[in-house]
A and B are shown apart, each in its own frame.
Chain A
Amino acid sequence: MGFKILRKQELIPGQTSLLVIDAPQIAKKAKPGNFVILRNDEKGERVPLTIADKDPKEGTITIVFLVVGKSTAQLNTLQEGDEILDVCGPLGKATHIDKQGTVVCVGGGTGIAAMHHIAKGHWEAGNHVVAIIGARTEDLLLFRCELDGFCPEVLIATDDGSVGHKGFVTEVLKDRLESDRNVTEVVAVGPVPMMEAVAKTTKPFGVKTTVSLNSIMVDGIGMCGACRCSVGGETKFACVDGPEFDGQEVDFSELKARLWQFKEQEDESMGKFKKECSCHGK
């Protein structure tokens, strides 16, 4: 009795996929900022993934994931009609959304998908939403169309300059903050160095900055503290107190160190998977 994959779309072949999953109860409750914990099969580990979208009428949630290790590689072998054994959620505190003015939502890599749900929430609340998205090259930019659907402006930065600004999202963000005094909040979701850079960029402007932390999790319901992080000098659990926190208060170097805790075992697990699953190892 698992959770059926109704639709699968390989956004970046072999690297990033989108799954629409049949999960009516979660779809009914999910809000922007929430995540799920999923487990592929009987021997699987619990993996947290942000809810990128939901459709309560259809009873579905959408997740987008990057293949980084064994569990995500295995997840990417599943096809439409296959089932994921466990999907638990919605978890975490929902994004704090109120009508406030102009909100700039910054997304990097797979984080764009997670950012998309938050941006949509801000738009639904009546805010003017500016999206700034970044990736290495144009083909790796996710959710452009979806964001175009409600963001009056989608600003782009690519490392190679294949589209938009050549360089980092933070440079685009800085320009924007310098020219636009109406920005009331900046939201950033993406790799830790990107979120850290965004917080550094917004600091001189004194604009409220929200980041969504991606710490290691086990249960996702506050039982273990694997996901703990230092925020304003206090220990917080990302799964129950977050995952969103004030970017100026987060200890990013601690977060980075903690993300590498199981590197050795992760490599071992991936090595074993590649060996056993040569059909997908090409």
Chain B
Amino acid sequence: MASKPRKPSDIGPRIPMPEQPAAERVKNFSEVALGFSRDDAIAEAERCLQCKKPLCQKGCPVEIDIKEFILKVAEGDMPAAYEVIKETNSLPAVCGRVCPQESQCEGMCVLGKKNEPVAIGRLERYVADTFMASDACEEITGTHACALERDDLKVACIGGGPASLTVAGYLAAKGIKVTVFEALHEPGGVLIYGIPEFRLPKGIVARELDGLKGLGVDIVTNWVGGKTITIQDLQNEGYDAIFIGVGAGLPRFLNIPGDNLVGVFSANEYLTRVNLGRAYDFPNHDTPTFRADNVVVIGGGNVAMDAARTALRMGSKNVSIVYRRTQDEMPARLEELHHAIEEGVEIKALCGPLSFNAGDEGKLASMTVQKMCLGEPDESGRRSPVCIEGETEELPCDMAIIAVGTRPNPILLEATPDLELNRWGYIEADPETGETSMKNVFAGGDIVTGAATVISAMGAGRKAAQEIARRLL
């Protein structure tokens, strides 16, 4: 590491990350981005200016000491780098892969003003991958499982997604007994049923979960919060605090004619079948999924990209993304959009859904869209789409996948009438502490904010965990 201060102009471009070529990767479910080598990682880490007042850390929802971990990477001390990351992030191998770094840590990096920002996400991923969680406990503490210091304290997390896992990791590291209650048969939430294998291998998630178990976290499956177990039950069983991280849940449909035709799916269903059910390995795995040559995906977020790219890998011939605005307004990560286009996904911009149309046997045969143009910016600053009178187009398709967002899942909320909700029907929680209208009951992630990102859910989990620790310890 250069000891004397350097100027941004002294720094070279980013070290490129190797990827599977598009023509090849579209035939498999293996990870697209292959990761840095040790030399790559050290060279990239040396690009960091080690700012006196680093802005990158402010851009990170869980406030990793980025400058410090990158320094350790540059010095070649990966265990030390890992320890720095793990102080604030329970799932670094996941975050390094799926965070929208361009709008978070890397978006704040001073190098980014005139040069390319330091590839913080890729470095985090490298460190986590080289030094996986299951071995970390041993390396850091000398024992495989970190002993619980306070087994008189117990905390329950409802939902096994990123928010709850962050709470569990943080509190377990402080010696508090945590039990995570997951409704599905595998923990991980969206990391397991939503984000496809080619972006986030399930083996990576499993190893991060093993790391949490090594810290003494109990993760139980098939427990539906609000059905199998209620908040009241948990309070009766003496849990000192409860964290609700059940996600946003119910998919939205379009409310247009033909919404329920055979061939029309929510992205959640399509992705859950393929990812959680391993439908890509049907009939070796029992969960089937719909087969179609011509697929339209409606929406412009990461979920739409995941669904479209999954459909290609499932053998669909033509896959297009239908979006009301233009490519520039799409909320998806730029990297995912580029990957999708490289793989052959067609973007049908400025098209608003009008109807799904049935062909023979009542199955989906086409979709009619309204051509749009962009009007004035709306309240959110985005230019809103306006119909071009009389201009419609019929897109032939035998499968449509709807990825236009979610609404609150009512199961836990209906079973917990004391929980106050906000005007959108999500849980009302203190923005600083995550506490709900019920004492010592906390909430965070999509069930508070509506569908957002993995890392913002983890940020909310971290805040709640800090408050829980402050109260209990």
Q: Write the chain A residue with the least CB distance to B183.
A: A221
- Once the chains are docked, how many angstroms separate the CA of A269 from the CA of B287? 9
Could you show 30 A-B contacts with beta carbons less than 8 Å apart? Answer: A25-B223, A25-B229, A43-B284, A44-B286, A45-B277, A45-B287, A46-B287, A85-B185, A86-B221, A86-B222, A89-B224, A89-B228, A90-B227, A90-B228, A219-B193, A221-B183, A221-B249, A224-B269, A228-B253, A229-B260, A235-B255, A240-B409, A257-B362, A260-B262, A262-B288, A265-B288, A265-B291, A268-B283, A269-B282, A269-B288
Min C-beta distance of B265 to chain A, whole Å: 8
Contact partner of B411 among A240, A254, A269, CB < 8 A?
A240
* Contact of A122 with B by CB under 8 A: no
| Residue on B nearest A226 in the bound complex, by CB | B269
Check A266/B222 contact, CB under 8 A, given A223-B249, A223-B268: no
Is A261 a contact of B253 with CB atoms below 8 Å? no
1/0 per residue, CB under 8 A from B, across A240-282: the answer is 1000000000000010011011101110110010000000000
Contacts of B227 in A (CB 8 A): 29, 89-91
Min C-beta distance of B244 to chain A, whole Å: 15
When the two chains form the complex, which single residue of B184, B278, B290, B291 contacts A219, counting CB atoms closer than 8 Å?
A: B184
Partner of B260, one of A45, A254, A264: A254
Binary interface encoding of chain A residues 202-229 relative to chain B, with 1 for a CB under 8 A from any of its CBs, else 0: 0000000000000000110111111011
A89-B228, A230-B260 in contact; A225/B250 too (CB < 8 A)?
yes
CB <8 Å contact, B262 and A228: no
B260 touches A228 (CB 8 A): yes
Residues in chain B near residue A264, CB distance under 8 A: 291
- Interface-central residue, A223, A257, A262, by most chain B CB under 10 Å: A223
Let me know if A88 is at the binding interface, CB within 8 A.
Answer: yes
Instruction: Report chain A residues within 8 Å CB of B255.
Output: 235
What are the residues of chain B within 8 A of A85 when measuring CB–CB?
185
Q: Which residues of B contact A86 (CB under 8 A)?
A: 185, 221-222
Starting from the known contacts A218-B273, A219-B193, 10 additional A-B residue pairs (CB-CB under 8 Å) come to A43-B278, A46-B287, A221-B184, A221-B224, A223-B193, A223-B268, A225-B265, A225-B266, A265-B283, A265-B289
Give min CB distance, B297 to chain A, whole Å.
15
A26 at the interface (CB under 8 A from B): yes
A87 CB within 8 Å of chain B: yes
CA distance A235 to B184 in the complex (A): 24
- CB <8 Å contact, A261 and B262: yes
- Taking the complex as formed, is A120 at the interface, i.e. its CB lies under 8 A from any CB of chain B? no
B272 within 8 A of A: yes
A50 within 8 A of B: no
Q: What are the nearest 6 A-B pairs in CB distance?
A: A265-B288, A224-B269, A45-B286, A88-B222, A45-B287, A86-B185
Q: Are A225 and B253 in contact (CB under 8 A)?
A: yes
Q: Does A117 contact B (CB under 8 A)?
A: no
Interface centre among A90, A254, A257 (most CB of B within 10 A): A257
Assess whether A269 is in contact with B185, with CB atoms less than 8 Å apart: no
* Docked complex Cα distance between A45 and B274 (Å): 11
* CB contact between A224 and one of B272, B285, B288, B290 (< 8 Å): that residue: B272
B373 CB, nearest partner CB in chain A, Å:
30
Q: Specify which chain A residues have a CB less than 8 angstroms from the CB of B269 in the assembled complex.
A: 218, 224-226
A70 interface neighbour in B183, B222, B259, B286, Cβ under 8 Å: B286
Interface residues as binary, A103-120 with B (CB distance below 8 Å gives 1, 0 otherwise): 000000000000000000
Answer yes or no: B8 CB below 8 A from chain A CBs.
no
Which B229-287 residues have C-beta < 8 A from chain A? 229, 249-251, 253, 255, 259-260, 262, 265-266, 268-269, 272-273, 277-278, 282-287
What is the CA–CA distance of A25 and B284 in the complex, to the nearest angstrom?
32
